[in-house]
A and B are shown apart, each in its own frame.
Chain A
């Protein structure tokens, strides 16, 4: 499933990231690469996503985050 479907408080692991080079380098350099564990802090309507990963709170553009695929950690 895509990161944008993750509900508030759910934890997940990134399994795939699609997109062009520019996007990949931006998203990975802030700490989100395949295998990274994240927690959804706020996912509402059209606002940017707010997640927590690698000890950091990160705001992500919603449309672009469709390209991040995750697997929920139970």
Chain B
């Protein structure tokens, strides 16, 4: 007997779908991309009563229209023959609205069960849902759960087993009866014949006829392939179908939901401030500062551990390995690669944990949607969701913060866009390194001007980068205005979010360590030299391309520093120190094994002309932020392709910016 079942979770945004998915699968998750589409694919497994369930967490959408790649993926998936069951989630506290997905599902012949979430919220609102009656009316299993409370899943598992063994599909005759008595009746009947041409085992002709009534592009395309080209459609069709669906829902729920209608204020005092035309922005900035501070507090113990790790492990390596007779150069190699990358990865997952925790709470509480509303106009003008501002602001602290914070963006394409844009925000380390250099070259006043120039370029960079990446990820002609639900505020489930963040941290740790190790090893060999700087491959490359790089104002010394900056921002000064002050090798100053000379900025200022220095400062600031940023981008996008694209884009733009700045600066400095 086959002991594996394929199930899928389907539901509207805010229906508690990801919470259910996380509770069911725990650590057994795999996140990737749907082939050929910029849509996130989340799968996981769990076992119950010796049956293994493969779960797909389908992208959240409000209906099964073909308006986005997400919805197209979902539609294809739920009609797959291999699928044993769809678990359709609906928010019991807003049942009328969230049942729309089920109404749109009607006609899909894959067995389905209905899972009501937020039952506790509904009850607090004075609503009671008669689950058994609803199940009778729909002819499928219905259960109710509290998504974050694993104990409440007992009824879910019972229904799941029953639903799979019975294979019941949704009975939607009533819905079509309503359609046949409604405004679109004639057209609907007319479509039935054509609909049966492309109907199949899992898609009934009625479902397709409904889609035709809505002028559904995907279904029309399928039919045109079959030779049915000029199908007359009604631009008002989408109104007829939605009308019928809501009538069907209202009829269904008329005796199922009892509403005690507790008088409640729609807008609480806090909400009035949080969404107010002026106060909203202040509240948002206040919360962002709190979030940044909160993230730092959560992250700092772990980051501290990561930072302190080399100083604990390095002497240990010296004494233990040295005592075993391992040669000094091998110990050095281990320190510069394994121990360094381990320290970095621990620091990185600390940040990832903190962002998951802090943003997880803001999201769960329902505040993120308010941020989206408040900044809809400003962020919308560059093609991003309003809440994309949150991770971008985090970027001033650390780019890892912005990349892992981008998880709150619910469209995969826009998530990649947000990350790409957020890289342009100079991070905390940049704000330490750059002023040091800028002040040494241009004095305090000049240094301030350089910082203003950097902020000015940042704004331009953000606008241009959003345009460049938006072309593919969020094309202008496909952009639509905001139509978004602001969910009611919920109490945060600290424990649940904490556990989830821990799991995510562990997951990232496993993947990230090997990547960082490989890069550290590569960088080790590139910069390895038996004697002095001149023996390294990096030096040879640097001097070889100097005729070209000199055009953009970079000599081999600054070019080497530019390359090292992609690994770590602190390496900018470190590498210069290695070259100009002989304070250690390039690899040692990059990995922090050797200290940077205290007055390196002054030494460099005496050695490099001002125009070149300015070009270098700009190049380094807008280069790939650091190896950590690259790895966390890969973690968040699960796409080597997009990570590489963003990386290449930043190297090229940094060099172009440097060239422009250099050639202008040469005229004045």
Binding site for B on A (CB under 8 A): 17, 20-31, 33-36, 39, 41-42, 44-48, 50, 52, 54-64
Contact = CB atoms under 8 A, between A and B. Distances in A.
B67 A26 contact: yes
Contacts of A24: 214, 236, 238-239, 242
Nearest to A64: B481
B507 interface: no
Contact of A21 (B215, B376, B487): B215
Specify which of A59, A61, A62 lies most central, judged by the most chain B CB atoms within 10 Å of its CB: A59
19 contacts: A22-B67, A25-B67, A25-B214, A28-B242, A30-B62, A30-B97, A33-B239, A41-B267, A47-B377, A48-B376, A50-B275, A54-B94, A55-B97, A56-B94, A57-B485, A57-B486, A58-B484, A59-B372, A62-B481
Contacts of B242: 24-25, 28-29, 33
A27 B486 contact: no
B235 A57 contact: no
Nearest to A61: B481
Contacts of B402: none
Given A17-B239, A50-B373, A59-B373, A22 B480 contact: yes
A50 B522 CA distance: 54
A44 B97 contact: no
A21 B160 CA distance: 36
Contacts of B275: 42, 50
A61 B215 contact: no
B239 A28 contact: yes
A47 B238 CA distance: 27
Interface in B71-129: 93-94, 96-97, 100, 104, 125
Contacts of A63: 481
Contacts of A21: 214-216, 235, 237-238
Interface of B: 62-63, 65, 67, 93-94, 96-97, 100, 104, 125, 214-216, 235-239, 242-243, 246, 266-267, 275, 277, 369, 372-373, 376-377, 480-488
A50 B486 CA distance: 9
A59 B235 contact: no
Contact of B277 (A20, A31, A47, A57): A47
Contact of A25 (B65, B125, B372): B65
A26 B242 CA distance: 10
A59 B368 CA distance: 13
B503 to A, nearest CB: 31
Given A24-B242, A36-B246, A41-B266, 8 more contacts: A21-B214, A28-B242, A30-B97, A41-B267, A45-B277, A48-B373, A58-B485, A62-B481
A23 B215 CA distance: 12
A56 B482 contact: no
A68 to B, nearest CB: 11
A31 B62 CA distance: 9
B480 A26 contact: yes
A59 B486 contact: yes
B482 A48 contact: yes
B488 A57 contact: yes
B254 to A, nearest CB: 15
Contacts of A41: 266-267
B266 A55 contact: no
9 A-B pairs with least C-beta separation:
A61-B481, A28-B242, A29-B63, A24-B238, A31-B97, A29-B62, A54-B97, A57-B486, A25-B65
A55 B481 contact: no
Given A26-B62, A33-B246, A55 B486 contact: no
Nearest to A33: B242
B209 to A, nearest CB: 16
Nearest to B96: A54
Contacts of A50: 275, 373, 486
B239 to A, nearest CB: 6
A29 B104 contact: yes
Nearest to A52: B266
A62 B277 CA distance: 14
A59 B243 contact: no
A11 B486 CA distance: 19
